[in-house]
Chain A
Amino acid sequence: MKNAKTFRVILSYAVLCLVAVVMAGPFVWMVFSSVKPNEDLFAHPPVWFPQRVTGEHFRAAFAHTNLPRYFLNSLIVAGVATVTNVLFGSLAGFAFARLEFPGRDVIFFAILGTMMVPIHVTVVPLFILAKRFPLAGGNNILGVGGTGLIDTYGGLLFPYLITAFGVFMTRQFFASLPRELDDAARIDGCSDFGIFAKICLPLSRPVIATLSIFTFTNVWDDFLWPLVIINRDEMRTVQLGLQVFQSQFSVDWGPLMAATLMVTVPVLIVFILGQDYFVEGIATTGMKG
């Protein structure tokens, strides 16, 4: 019995390590490439481990772009969007999962449907709406005359503040919580909001963490929307900044890898922080309490 368990643990670790190599390989290559001199980057046969280490690519990344400013912009946009999505998304997700009201499922599927049209066709209408936004960027109340949300944080945030994605995710998780919880709370005289805030939310910390991680990652990584809504350099986001190293015919791999690596760090930090809420047994203690 004991032996079988040890064997299972060893087997688990063996599988975990093997998968880790495959999953992390390209990322590790990125890390190595960021410190290899140009001539070694694509040596043939390939040199996996850097033979010579250089900081030139990191220097170049900073010299050619206004990276600190791009970081600030991306942090503001991704940070704000994460908070609003968690707040409003979970509220709506709760209502769709656990409250009864006429038209509930129709409205839900309509919201779900908005994700099914590719961005490449909705980007033009969305851009026109952002430009016609009333009383912004010199526009009058009818949205005419100025540049609207173009080149503003409002413009960058426009499609991200609340997304169908967050609603859908929280709904699915709230749906999986046992119904008896609500009924017990209702008998105790708890309001709907009370059930949401005092019962469901505390039980859903892994979900809130997941939604935060995903929203942050999505907004941080998005390229197309910042591309169309931003013209001025000081409003660019990190993903636009990375374009500097890609040109018509080629890619400047060293600085690109260095910059990409730096751009990846905040997303990884958010992921690692979010993981603290993935502690087995939260649900259990919640149930018993």
Chain B
Amino acid sequence: MSRHKRGNLNGYLFIAPVFIYITITAFIPMIMSLYLSFTDYNMLQPPKWCGLYNYKDLLGKDGKMWVAMRNTLIYAIEVLPLNIFCSLGLAILVNKNLPGMTFFRTTYYLPVVTSMVAASMIWMWIYDTDMGLLNNILSLFGVEPIEWLTSPDMALHSLAIMRVWKGIGWNMVIYLAGLQGIPRHLYEAAMIDGASRWQQFANVTWPMLRPVTYYVLTMGLISTFQTFTEIYSMTRGGPLDSTTTIGYQIYKMAFDYMEMGKASALAFVLFVIIFTLSIINVKFFSSRVDSEV
């Protein structure tokens, strides 16, 4: 009993610095934003309470929020699985004890450190309809030029491909760290049982990586649902609003239209969605390994 109590106390002690600091720098600003979401606030005048007006306005007939929501969902659905698949694949490849792995790992991390300005510049060049690299290569196979970024049907998907490129390296590092944590004897035991490589992956690697995959997926949800940078620097939401995302719209409302109250309301609508999805995520991931996620 006393042991258990000490465990309790230690738990609080261990999280105390984090909890206090995050309360100041994250909870309080968040609660302030939540308050602002019920006000009419343009940053120049003090906020004026307006009740649920902002939420009604956003969730009502205002078409753009639904378009943005749809785009954001499509984007997340395209980016997340592809990113996880590619980054796990690469992590397994570069986790081998073969010469040159440091080089390959560093190379795969390069997109992460390539500045977004430079990255969007070169991707605009890759995607350019008339002079772009991609269409040039495709034309060798007799494919008609594709409007990668200038067609409303293509632009969002083109951005998704670029996002996957930019993000794989990041998740690869996490999976790499995760793979290193899997005790070797589990594989040895599997091999003694005569498990094939695929069976080893399915029965050892994948289950052992569950907490890591939960992390990757949750962080992926958080970041793709807030997607802003590439939209801002490459398409500005166009053509025909086909790449307008929630994150981009929040920025526009807040700083282009000075409607901070409405932007905050949209941010909390987004918050509820992400939070719900990550809770569903927990349920899904803890179906087998309880309390580990």
Bound pair: A and B? yes
Q: Are B111 and A16 in contact (CB under 8 A)?
A: no
Q: Does B263 interact with chain A (Cβ within 8 Å)? A: yes
Residues of B within 8 A of A12 (CB): 93, 96, 98
Q: Does B212 interact with chain A (Cβ within 8 Å)? A: yes
In Å, the complex CA distance between A175 and B210 comes to 10
Q: Are A118 and B260 in contact (CB under 8 A)?
A: no
In Å, the complex CA distance between A30 and B119 comes to 9
Residues of A within 8 A of B114 (CB): 26-27, 30, 264
Residues of B within 8 A of A124 (CB): 33, 36, 43, 260
Q: Does B165 interact with chain A (Cβ within 8 Å)? A: yes
In Å, the complex CA distance between A115 and B30 comes to 10
Is the interface on chain B under 10, 10 to 19, 20 to 34, or 35 or more residues?
Answer: 35 or more
Closest A residue to B10 using CB positions: A192
Q: Which of B191-241 contact A (CB under 8 A)?
A: 208-212, 214-215, 218-219, 222, 225-226, 228
Residues of A within 8 A of B270 (CB): 116-118
Q: A91-B18, A281-B184 are in contact. List 14 more A-B contacts (CB 8 A).
A: A23-B165, A116-B225, A124-B33, A125-B33, A173-B181, A175-B293, A176-B181, A177-B181, A192-B14, A193-B10, A214-B170, A221-B115, A284-B184, A287-B184
Chain A interface residues (CB < 8 Å from chain B): 9, 12-13, 15-16, 19-20, 22-27, 29-30, 44-46, 88-89, 91-92, 94-96, 99-102, 104, 107, 109-118, 120-122, 124-126, 128-129, 158-159, 161-165, 167-169, 172-173, 175-178, 191-193, 196, 203-204, 206-207, 209-210, 213-214, 217, 221, 242, 246, 251, 253, 256-257, 260, 263-264, 267-268, 271-272, 275, 278-284, 287
Chain B interface residues (CB < 8 Å from chain A): 4, 6-12, 14-15, 17-19, 21-22, 24-30, 32-33, 36, 43, 90, 93-98, 100, 102, 104-115, 117-119, 121-123, 125, 131, 133, 165, 168-170, 173-174, 176-178, 180-185, 208-212, 214-215, 218-219, 222, 225-226, 228, 247, 250-251, 254-255, 260, 263-264, 267-268, 270-271, 274-275, 278-279, 291-293
